[in-house]
Chain A
């Protein structure tokens, strides 16, 4: 597969929020909770069946988290003058954000 297609695939995967996954994770983690209000939204204009508002925000949250983590790890890698992001870079970034 050409480079371009690989990148485009990644982009498509990126844009789509794995709503099923998010819901599943949430249910697994906190089965007692329900994710959110979605019924009235689903009936509305958009053909997004089964899509939930909350998952979108959760997805946004995850996106932002991953983004921050990646940036931090990249900074760590550049600080150590490595061309490749190492495990310790990621660890350091995680520790920094999570404490």
Chain B
């Protein structure tokens, strides 16, 4: 009865892995922030900072925000993705040409 496409799976496994990384990064965000605050310091003693280095290396690898890739939401394309719409350039063009993107118009000047 739904007029739009229904997607119950992620597009591919790479998208699933990206989703997992985002979840763990969200969970460990506070801890990473605090341990980094101890590490990037000129006041605390260096031994403490080395201990903090080891601690942050011991956190799960997927909790690092640098591992998140902003993929296209519909096609899982890793490149050519515009941040504002979270869509790859091809999908964006497709929807814009069919007048399904609100406020998006072909440029002419």
Chain B associates with chain A: no
Name B's A-contacting residues (CB within 8 A): none
